[in-house]
Structure 1
Amino acid sequence: MNKKTLLFTFLLIFGILQSGYTPPDEGMFPLSEIHKLDLKKAGLKIDQNEIYNPNGTSLVDALVNVGGCTGSFVSNEGLIITNHHCAFGAVQQASTPEKDYLTKGLVARSYGEEIEAKGLTCRITESYEDVSDRILGPVAQITDPATRLQLVNHAMKNIAAEAEQKDPSIKAEVSEMFIGKTYVLFRYKTILDVRLVYVPNRQVGEFGGETDNWVWPRHTGDFSFMRAYVGKDGKPAKYSKDNVPYTPKKFLKVNASGTEEEDFVFILGYPGRTFRHRPAGFIENQQQFVLPYTSELYDFQNATMEKAGKKNKETEIKLATRIKRNANVMKNYRGKLQGLKGIDLIGQKKQEDAALAEFINNNVEEKAKYGTLMNDIDNLYKLINGDAQRDLWLGQIYSSTSLLSVSRTINNFKEALNAQSPANKQPFFDQNIPQVKQALSSTYASFDIDVDRTVFKKMMNDAAAFSPYQKINAVAKVTSKGNNSQSVIDQYINNTFGISKLKDQDYVINTLLKSLKALSAYNDGLMLFEKDLQQQIAAIKPEKDAREGQLNKLMGDYVRVKEKFLKKDFIPDANSTLRLTYGYVRGYSPADATYMKPYTTIKGILEKGASGHADFGYPETIKTLWTAKDFGPFAKKDLNDVPVSFLYNMDTTGGNSGSPIMNAKGELIGVNFDRAYGATINDYSWNESYSRSIGVDIRFVLWVATKIDKADFLVKEMGVKL
C-alpha cells in the first residue's frame, strides 16, 4: 500500500471515529430497514429519502429485476444497463451460426435494429407491506407441521391474489423474509417486452472466461444494454413492433468520473438467497451433501456438453448457456466448500448452538417455550441428511436429462386431459396446447441427444449405487432385470433412446401434439420411467411436507430466541427482494504477505492476453488504442490507464449481478458482477476481511462503447458528454 493510500485510509478511519459511525458487520437491508441506518455518517451526500421514498420518486424506481439479475434504467427511453452474463441466454437464443451475436456482439443503432430478448421480462417493485400477522395469526395454535405449512402457503397465495384482484395491473408475491417469522407482500409491475440493444464482443464481456470466474484481479467487461417496451397506451404488452420504449419514473445519472479508493458506494439490487441465520445442521447438509454433489455433477455435465459442442457451431451455441450456468455454479460451490472448511463454519455454528442451548436451559421462561428446540432441530436434520442422496438426485434428474423433462411435460398434460370430462377434453387440449408447445420448445432449445444419453447413464449408475433406504424406484425396476447393473443400464438406455420418438422435436411438436387422438395413443419407455419417478415423488411428498412444516416452525423459533440471546435484531436473509448494501471501494489481503489493489486496468488485459490462453483473447483494437494511449476522458489519472474492474466491501450475492453501483450522490459509477473467490462463502457468513465484490467500472463501459464499438449514440442517450 502506498503512502497516499495509507494516509487516505487513516483519514477515513479517523473521520469515522470522529463521527461516531460504526460500519455494520454485514447488510443486505430490506427497504423497510434502511430508515434505521445513518448513511450520512457513512458517507452519503444526498438525502436518504432520495434512495427510497414510499411517498414519491426515488432511486429505487430506477431498479428492475431482469431474468433473475438486477438492472437499472439509465435513460428516459427505457434503456437498461445490466451484466453481459445476464443477457447471455437471450443472446444465445438470438444467435445462429450465420448471425453469431454470442461471439461477435451486437450494436443496434436504431429501435428497429433492437432484437427481442426471448425469455426475459422486467419486474419493477411498486410497493411492499408487512403481512406477517395475517399469515401467522391463524396458525398460532396449529401443532401439526404439515397442516401449519399448508395453511401458511395458502394464506400467502390468497393475500397475493387479493392484491392482484384489487389492482390487476400488478403482479403480487408474498415473500418469507425470516423463515416461519416474517412475511412481506410485494407488488410488482412486469414489463413483458425486453429487447437487446448493445452487447459487447464476447472477448470483452466474458474476458477471462471460467479461468477468471470468481477471481480477483479481474478484467471483464461484464455489461450489456437492453430496452424495455410497452404498448402505445403505456401498459405492459407482449412483444410487438408497434410497442414503444417505456418511460420509467426514474433513471440513474451516469458519472463518467468513476471512483477513488475508499470512496463511499452503495448498491440497490435483488440478491438471491443467503442462509446466515441457520443452525449447524443446515451447514453440515450443505458441506457434506449439496455442495459436493452438485459441483461434481455439473463438472461431468459440462465435460460432456463441451465434447458435444465440438460437433458443429450450431450445437456449440445451443449448449452455451447451460455450460455457462453450470460452470458458474460449480466454481461457486467449490469456493464455498473451500471457505466453509477454511473457517470451520460447522465448528463455529456448533459452538453458537451450544451457547444458545445453554441460554435456553438457564432461563426458566425460555426453557418453557424452547426447551426442546435444539434437540428437535438436530433430529430433523438427521432425517434430512439421511435422505440427502435420493433427494438431490430427484432434484437434478429433470434438468440433467432433457428428454425426461419433455416426458414430464407430456405426461402432466396427458394427466390433466384425462381429468377432464369427455366433452371438455378437446376444448382443454385446444386451449392449452400452445403453452405446452412453448415449454417443450424451450427444453429442446438446449437438447443434444449425445449429452442426454451420457448424463442419463451417469445418473442411472449413481442411483444404482445408493443404499436400499435411499433407492430410486424407477432405477431399481430397471436394474432388477439382471445381475450386472451397469450392463443392464447400458442396454436399457440403448433400447429406450433408440425407440423413443421424443428425441425428434419436429415429430413431437408437429405430429404428436397435432391432435388429441395422437397424444392419447402415444407412450414410450422414457415416459413410463418418468411416471415411476413421479409416483415416488408423490409418495414421499407427505413426509417432505411434514419436515418442511416442522422446519418452518423451528427456524422461526430459532431466530426469535437467538435474537433475545444476542440482544440484537437480525437482518433478514436475502430472498430475491429489493435490498440496499453499502461500503467502500477497498482492496484486501486474501493471504499472508499479499495485498490486492482495488482497481485493474487495460494493461492487465494485455498482460493476461500475452499468456496465449484461450480465455484471455481480446479484440486487437484494445491493444492498438492502449498503445496509443487513446483513453479519451475515461482514464484514471493516478493509474494513467482506464480502470476495468474494481473491488468494494459491500455485501452481495447471486441476484446482485447487474446491480448499479452508485456513489455518494446516487450516480452510477459501475455495475456489480461477481465476488472474489473467498467471498463465495458470503451466502453463509460475511466478513469484512475476505468479503469483496467485483464490478465493472463505468469508465471502461464508456471507453469500450465509444472507442471499440462506436456506440456513441447510447452514451449520449445516457447524458454523458464526450
Structure 2
Amino acid sequence: MKKALLFLSLLSAPALAGEGKWTPQQVLQLDAAALKKQGLRLPPQKLWDPKRGTGLLAGTVNVGGCSGAFISEAGLVITNHHCAFSIIQEHSTPQRDLLTQGFLARTREEELPGKGARIQVPRAFTDVTKQMLEAVPAGADDLARQKALERKEKELVAECEKRPATRCKVARFEGGLQFTLLDSVELADVRLVYAPPRSVGEYGGEEDNWMWPRHTGDFSILRAYVAPDGSAAQFSARNVPYKAEFFFPLAPEGVKPDDFVMVLGYPGITFRAMLADEMADRQSRYYPRVIDVYGELIRILEEQGEKDPAGKIAVASNLKSLHNRYKNAGGQLAGLKRGHLVEKQREAEAAVVEWTRTRKEWAAALQARTELLALRDEDAKTFERNFLLDALRGVTKGPGLAAMLVRMAQERVKPDLEREPEFMERELPRQKDRLEREQKNFFPPADKRVVLALVRRAQALGAGERIAAIDKAFGRTFSEKDVSAKIDALYAGSKVMELAERQKMAGESEAQLRARKDPLLELGFDLAAELVVLDDLRDRREGAGVRLMPQWRRAVLAHAGKPVAPDANGTLRVTFAKVKGYAPRDGVFHVPQTTLAGVLEKNTGEEPFNAPSKVVAAAEARKFGPWLDPRLKDVPVNFLADADTTGGNSGSPTVNGKGQLVGVNFDRVWENVSNDFGYNPDVARNVNVDVRYVLWLLDQVEDADALLRELGVRKGAKAQERR
C-alpha cells in the first residue's frame, strides 16, 4: 500500500502544462501557485473536494464511452454529435432523416428519448489496492490470479451498487500498481434536445477527420431526466429534468491564443507504459491489419448503403465507427514513424535496464521485463486468428448476435459472481438494449457481405490458427459462390435477426436455443466455444500482467525521478493546456482558430463540404449577432489547444480558468494521433468546437429561443443586437 501511495506522490509533482492526465485526487496535490500562474482562477478545492468526494469536475459526465458536461442546472448535457449519433439514427427514417436534417426540440415535450443511452455522474473515488491484492491466494497461477482479482472486483462493485441508480467499476493503474473504485450515479432517461445537420456535425467528413484546419460543428445537446422524487428512473412521461449540482456556465467571450484552458473527461486508453517491443508490434502488426480489414469492410458498407436509402441509414453508425478506427490506425502509423516513438521508447527502456543492473534491489524488475517479452512472443503466434475472432464477434450482426445469445444462456446458469463480467445481472439491461438497438443497424445485404469477407480471411489462415467454427460452417477452402450460398441459407433459415424472436432467445436456456435448430445459433454455439477459450487466454495474460507489470513500472518510476503521468484508463481526468497553433512541417504554421469564412471557402455544395443552405445564408449575410470575435472579425468555429487527450475525450468540456465552458473537444490533429504512445509538445494539439459557434448556430441559424434562455445567453444576445 505504501508503494501505491508513493506512486501517487510521484505523479503529483508540479509538472502541469501539456502532458499529463491528472485524476481528481491528484489535482489537489499539484502546486496551487503554479496552477494560478498558468491561469486557473479557482481554488483547486473547487475542482474537487475530497471530503465530499465531488466538485466542479463532477459536472463532467460519462456518455456511453464519450465524455460530456452539464451546462445547465436542468440537466442539459453537451457532448459531440458523433457521441449522440446512435440516438439521432434511432429516430431517423428516409421520410424524416434527422441525421441529414438535424433536430431541435423547441419544448421539453418534443425531446427524443434514446434507447439504452445513459449518463454517469461521478460521485466518489476510493483506493482499494489493499483489498484487491489480498484477494489473490498464495501460489496462484496467472489465470487464478486474474480470476481472484475479477471476483474481488465484482464483490466491491456489488457492494457499491447496493444503492439505487449506481454504477461502479474498479480501475487499474500501471497494470496493477494501484486499484481505484469509481462510484457514479447512473441516469437512464436521456433525451435528444439538439443535433445540428450532419453536414455541420461532420462537416469535412473523413477527408477532414483528424486534420487541421477544421470547420466542424461536432456537438449535440442532450438532457438527463429523473423520476419526480429525484431518483434515477427509466424513461417516463412523468419524469422531470435532473437537477445538476455542478454545471459549466457558457463563456460567450470564448478564447483567444495563449488562453489557459482545461480539458476534462474520460480518456480511454493510452500505451505509454508499453515495452518498446510491444509498441513495435502495434506498429508492424496491429495497425496494418486494422487498415487492411476495416478498409475492406468500409468499402462494403459504403457500396451497399448507396443502393438503398434505408440501408444507408442502417449502416451509418457502424460505418462511422469503422471509419474512425481506420483513419486512427493510419495516423498512429504515421506518427510512430515520424516521431521515432518505438526507437525513443527502446532507448528509454535500455536506460532503465542499465540502471537496474547496478542495483540488486531491482533485480525482480529485470526478470519481470524478460517475462513480459516472452508473453509478447507467445501472443504473436495467434494474432491473426484472434483479430478475426474479435471482428466476427464485434462487427457482424448475424454471427455476432448469435454468439452473444449463446453466451448469455451459458452464463445465466452460473452464480452471478462467477459469470463473465459482461454477462452479470447488472449488465442485462445493456445487453437487452443492444439486442434491440442492433435491429436499427442491421441491413442484410451489407451484413452478409461483411461475413463473406471475414470468412474468406479465416479460410486463408495457417494450420496453427484455424477458426474451427468457420471451417465447420463453410469448409476449409474459399469459394465465393459456395460460401455466399451458405451465408444466404444461414440467414434465410434463422430467426436471430427478427427482433421479437431475438428478444425471446435472450431469456432462453442453452437447451432451448439448441432445440430451435436455428442455423445462425448453431454457428453461434461454435463461435462461442472458441471465444470462451480466447477470453480465458486473455485472462491468463492479464493475470501475468498484474504479476509482472507493477514490478517493472516501479523501476521506471524510480529511475525517472520526476513525475510520470499514468496511462489513460477510462477514469475521470483533467489536463491543463493553452490555446496555441503548431508547425506540422517545415515552413508551415497553423494558427489556432478557424472561422465562418473558412466554412464558406470550403463549401462546394457536395459532400463532404456541403454546408446547409441556412448556415451558408446566415454566414454570407454576416449575421454574426453577439458572437463576433472583434479580433478575428468573424465568428470562431474551431480552436486548438495543447491538451493531452485521447479516445474517450470525445465530448470533453473545454473550460477556462473560471470553470466556464469555452469549447467542446472532438478530435486531435493528424500529427498528434500517436500521442497515445508519447506526448510531443510540438504537435500535441486537440481540436475543439468554439462555444461561440455553438451559440451562433442556436441563435442566428436555429433561433432556439427557449434553449438560449435556459443557457443564460438569450437576454444578452438580444440586448447586444439592439445596440
Say whether the fold is shared (TM-score over 0.5): yes
Q: 1:186 aligns to what SS in structure 2?
A: strand
Deviations 1:387-423 (A, max 9, x none): 1111111111122221112322443455468889xxx
After superposition, what is the alpha-carbon deviation per residue over 1:600-649, rounded to whole angstroms, capped at 9, x for unaligned? 00000111014x54101112233333333221111111211000000000
Aligned to 2:543: 549
Deviations, residues 36-77 of structure 1 (Å, cap 9, x unaligned): 323112221222222222345631132211121111111111
Contact 1:21 1:41 in 2 (8 A): no
Alignment of 1:474-485 (within 5 A): 474-478=469-473
Q: Any idea what SS the aligned residue of 1:626 has?
A: helix
Q: In the alignment, what sits opposite 1:35?
A: 28
- Which one of the candidate residues 188, 197, 213 is aligned to 1:217? 213
Q: Is the 8 A contact 1:478 1:488 kept in 2?
A: no
Q: For residue 488 of structure 1, report the CA deviation from its aligned partner.
A: 5.0
Q: Residues 255-654 of structure 1: matches in 2 within 5 Å?
A: 255-367=251-363, 369-412=364-407, 415=410, 439-478=434-473, 488-505=482-499, 521-610=515-604, 612-654=605-647
Task: Label 1:419 to 1:503 Cα distance change in 2 as closer, same or farther (>3 A).
Answer: same
Range that drifts further, 356-365 or 189-198: 356-365
Q: Residue 538 of structure 1: CA displacement?
A: 3.0
Report if the CA contact (8 A) 2:68-2:78 is conserved: yes
* Rg larger in structure: 1
Decide whether aligned partners of structure 1 residues 158 and 597 sit closer, same or farther in structure 2, where only a CA change above 3 A counts.
same
1:713 is matched with which residue? Answer: 706
Could you tell me how far apart the structure 1 residues matched to 2:554 and 2:506 are? 55
| Residue 550 to residue 710, structure 1, CA distance change in 2 (3 Å) | same
Cα distance in 2 between the residues matched to 1:330 and 1:575? 22
Deviation for aligned residue 1:354: 2.0
Equivalent residue letter for 1:678: E
Q: 1:508 to 1:186 in 2, by over 3 A?
A: closer
Q: CA 1:555/1:418 → structure 2, altered by over 3 Å: closer, same or farther?
A: closer
| Cα distance in 1 between the residues matched to 2:398 and 2:494 | 9
- Structure 1 residue 670: Cα displacement: 0.8
Per the alignment, do residues 372 and 518 of structure 1 end up closer, same or farther by CA in structure 2, a change over 3 Å counting? closer
- Cα offsets for 1:160-214 (capped at 9, x unmatched): 222233x445222111122121100111101110111111122211111111111
In 2, Cα distance between equivalents of 1:183 and 1:567: 23
2:80 match: 83
- Alpha carbons of 1:111 and 1:347: their partners in 2 closer, same or farther (altered >3 Å)? same
Determine the C-alpha separation between the residues in 2 that align with 1:303 and 1:76.
44
Whether the aligned pair in 1 keeps the contact of 2:189 and 2:233 (CA below 8 Å) is yes
SS in 2 for 1:85: coil
Q: Please list every run of 5 or more consecutive structure 1 residues that lacks an aligned counterpart in the other structure.
A: 1-19, 421-431
Deviations 1:283-309 (A, max 9, x none): 122112222222322222221111221
CA RMSD of aligned residues (A): 2.6
User: Which amino acid is the alignment partner of residue 101 of structure 1?
Assistant: L
Deviation per CA, 1:293-344: give whole Å up to 9, x if none: 2232222222111122123322111111111111111111110111112222
Counterpart secondary structure, 1:595: strand
Shift of 1:525: 3.2
1:117-136 maps to which residues of 2 (within 5 A)?
Answer: 117-136=114-133
Aligned-partner Cα distance in 1 for 2:197–2:633: 25
1:144 is matched with: 141
- Contact kept? 2:17, 2:576, Cα under 8 Å: no
Pair 1:672-2:668 in alignment: no
Residues 563 and 529 (structure 1), Cα distance of their counterparts in 2 relative to 1, 3 Å cut? same
Change in 2 beyond 3 A, CA 1:512/1:176: closer
Could you say if the C-alpha distance between residues 488 and 609 of structure 1 is closer, same or farther in structure 2, counting changes exceeding 3 Å?
A: same
Q: Which moved more, 1:346-355 or 1:333-342?
A: 346-355
| Cα separation, 1, equivalents of 2:431 and 2:125 | 33
Aligned to 1:656: 649
How much does 1:142 deviate? 3.8
TM-score normalised per structure 2: 0.90
For residue 253 of structure 1, what is the aligned residue in structure 2? 249
Is the deviation greater in 498-507 or in 40-49? 498-507
Deviating more after overlay: 179-188 vs 146-155? 146-155
- Cα distance between partner residues in 2 of 1:505 and 1:387: 35
Change (3 A) 1:499 1:61: closer
C-alpha distance in 1 between matches for 2:478 and 2:129: 55
Distance in 2, Cα, partners of 1:655 & 1:199: 20
Partner of 2:589, secondary structure, is coil
Pair 1:40–1:414, CA change in 2 (3 A): closer
Maintained 8 Å contact 2:398/2:491: no
* Corresponding residue SS for 2:687: strand
Bigger mean CA offset, 167-176 vs 219-228: 167-176
Q: What is the aligned partner in structure 2 of residue 67 from structure 1?
A: 64
Which amino acid is the alignment partner of residue 442 of structure 1? R
Please state if 1:697 is matched with 2:690: yes
Residue equivalent to 1:114: 111
SS of the residue corresponding to residue 183 of structure 1 reads strand
Identity of aligned residues (%): 34
Q: Given the alignment of the two structures, is residue 681 of structure 1 paired with residue 674 of structure 2, yes or no? A: yes
Cα contact 1:25–1:688 (8 A) shared by 2: yes
Larger displacement relative to structure 2 (313-322 or 617-626): 617-626
Question: Relative to structure 2, which stretch is displaced further, 126-135 or 51-60?
Answer: 51-60
Code of the aligned partner of 1:564: A
TM normalised by structure 1 equals 0.90
| Range 524-533 or range 216-225, more displaced | 524-533
Separation (CA, whole Å) in 1 of partners of 2:179 and 2:194: 38
1:161 matches 2:142: no
Which residue is 1:58 aligned to? 55
